[in-house]
Each structure stands twice: as structure tokens, then as C-alpha cells.
């Protein structure tokens, strides 16, 4: 389709990448549990915007720039690690009662968008990933339109999967609403997971 080589394999690869949980997934579920579906969709919009920015950066050759100046990539990575650990610490030590949820619901949609976008930005290696991923499914006849169609596929499938995460996460959160102990435990597990992601990234970059 539109110059995409092994179209079925391309779709399957996107779905597999979406199924692998990461900081973005945890953030979407966390925001949804605290403030509902609309907040979760705000975080989804933020992660989609971050992915789109990375895809555009990859196609414009910023991957080559970061490769030539690794100190820029390193600085972005350490900023991202600090951000992930900060988010995790907030979840780990914050309360999980109704007051906490009420406060979250009073935040603007922009705040949830920004949170999802910044978490997505914690992984500047995504530029390198997209730089390597897209050529796998291109041919010598592929054009700029092919890249645009591929980016659209990634964004659309990501939107579908992350929207399902929001709906499923909201359903689970509603069931746990009257079980504050379990809800607080889930929040702390999510916090530990975010800190764990940050530590893993730090160890990988040593």
C-alpha cells in the first residue's frame, strides 16, 4: 500500500511495539485512574504528539545530528531519566484518596497533555528507532508520500490502542474506587515501575 513493503508485517510490527508496556502506557493509565477518561485521552494526545515529533525529526535527519553530537543525546536522556523518577516518586509517596482524585480532576486538559508529551520526550532514542524502522518497509520506489502514510499508520494504530487502554483503565479504576487500599497499592506499583524504567535507562547509558 502506497509504496509500503510487506504491508502486513508493517502493521504487525506497529501492534507489537504498542503492546510492549513503557512509561507512556503507565502514564496514560495513571492519569486515567486519577481523573477519568477525558484526562486519559489528554495524556494520549500528548504521547501521540511526542511520537509524531520524533517521526518528523527522524525523517528530517535529526538522528544524524544526534549521532554526530552524542553529548546532546546524553543530556536529553539524563533529563528524561530525572523526569521519570520524579513522576514515579510522586506516585510512590502521594495519597490515593478521594481528595487526591478531586484535585486531579480540577487540572486542565493541557496539564494532562503536557504530562503525556513530556513522558514521551524521555526517550530521545525513539528518533533513532524511527530512523531505522521506516526503511525496513520501504523500497526504491517509495516516496515522501510513503513516509507520510507510514507516520499516519503509526499515529492511528497508537490512538486506537491507547484509547482502549484509557477505557479499560477507567473501568478498572471505577471498580477499585471503593477499595482505597488496593488503589493506593496500584499507584505505588506504578510509581516503582516508572522509577524502575528510569534506573534501567540510566544503567543502559553507562
Please give the pLDDT value at position 184: 67
Please give the pLDDT value at position 94: 66
- Give the largest CA-CA distance in the chain: 58
Please give the pLDDT value at position 50: 92
Please give the pLDDT value at position 67: 64
∠ CA(126), CA(83), CA(127), 5° rounding?
10
What CA–CA distance (Å, rounded) separates 75 from 70?
A: 9
Please give the pLDDT value at position 99: 44
Half-sphere exposure of 93 (CA within 13 A, CB side): 6
What CA–CA distance (Å, rounded) separates 160 from 181?
A: 31
Please give the pLDDT value at position 206: 52
Please give the pLDDT value at position 201: 66
∠ CA(108), CA(115), CA(78), 5° rounding?
155
Please give the pLDDT value at position 66: 64
Regions of the chain with pLDDT less than 70: 1-3, 62-67, 73, 76-77, 80, 94-108, 125, 140-142, 176-187, 201, 204-206
Q: Is the dihedral of CA 196, 197, 198, 199 positive or negative?
A: positive
Cell 502506557 maps to which residue? 25
Q: Which helix (H) or strand (E) holds 204?
A: helix 180-204
Closest CA to 173 of 39, 15, 23: 39
DSSP single-letter state for residue 4: B
Please give the pLDDT value at position 154: 92
Amino acid at each position: 500500500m502506497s509504496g509500503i513493503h510487506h504491508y502486513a508485517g508493517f502493521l504487525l510490527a506497529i501492534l507489537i511495539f504498542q503492546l510492549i508496556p513503557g512509561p507512556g502506557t503507565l502514564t496514560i493509565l495513571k492519569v486515567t485512574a486519577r481523573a477519568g477518561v477525558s484526562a486519559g485521552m489528554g495524556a494520549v494526545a500528548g504521547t501521540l504528539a511526542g511520537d509524531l515529533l520524533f517521526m518528523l525529526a527522524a525523517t528530517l535527519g535529526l538522528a544524524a545530528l544526534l549521532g554526530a553530537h552524542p553529548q546532546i543525546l546524553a543530556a536529553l536522556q539524563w533529563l528524561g531519566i530525572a523526569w521519570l523518577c520524579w513522576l514515579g516518586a510522586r506516585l510512590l509517596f502521594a495519597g490515593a484518596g478521594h481528595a487526591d482524585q478531586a484535585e486531579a480532576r480540577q487540572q486542565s486538559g493541557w496539564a494532562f497533555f503536557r504530562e503525556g508529551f513530556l513522558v514521551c520526550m524521555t526517550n530521545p532514542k525513539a528518533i533513532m528507532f524511527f530512523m531505522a524502522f521506516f526503511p525496513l518497509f520501504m523500497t526504491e520506489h517509495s516516496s515522501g508520500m510513503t513516509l507520510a502514510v507510514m507516520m499516519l499508520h503509526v499515529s492511528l494504530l497508537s490512538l486506537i490502542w491507547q484509547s482502549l487502554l484509557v477505557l479499560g483503565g477507567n473501568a478498572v479504576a471505577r471498580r477499585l474506587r471503593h477499595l482505597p487500599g488496593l488503589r493506593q497499592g496500584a499507584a505505588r506499583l506504578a510509581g516503582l515501575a516508572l522509577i524502575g524504567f528510569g534506573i534501567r535507562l540510566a544503567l543502559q547509558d553507562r
